[in-house]
Amino acid sequence: MMLSLRQAIVKRVEGKNAEELREVIEDSIRGDEKALPGLGVLFEFIWENTSPETRDELVQNLMKGLPEAPAATS
C-alpha cells in the first residue's frame, strides 16, 4: 500500500501527546529541509481548526517573523 505524503505525516503524529507533537515540530524546524513539507501538512490541520480571529493572529505573527522587503528605489 502506497501512502501519500499527507497520509504518512498524519500516521507519524497520530496518537502523540502535546509534548510529543511539539518535539516533532521543533525537530522538523531544526532538521533537514526535507521535513518542511510535513510542517505544511501540520499547519493545514492548525489552520482548518482555528477561528478567523486566530487565523488573523497567525498571519500577523508570520508577517512579524518575515524579513522586510527592500525598499524600492527610483
* pTM of the entire predicted model: 0.77
d(CA 66, CA 61): 9
Which cell numbers in the block locate residue 20? 510529543
HSE-up of residue 29 (Cα within 13 Å, Cβ side): 8
Give Dmax (Cα) for the chain.
58
What is the pLDDT, as a whole number, of residue 2? 74
Tally Cβ neighbours within 10 Å of residue 9.
22
Is 21 a residue whose pLDDT tops 80? yes
- C-beta of residue 21 within 8 angstroms of C-beta of residue 14: no
Give pLDDT tens digits for 30-68: 988 888 889 999 999 999 999 999 999 999 999 999 998
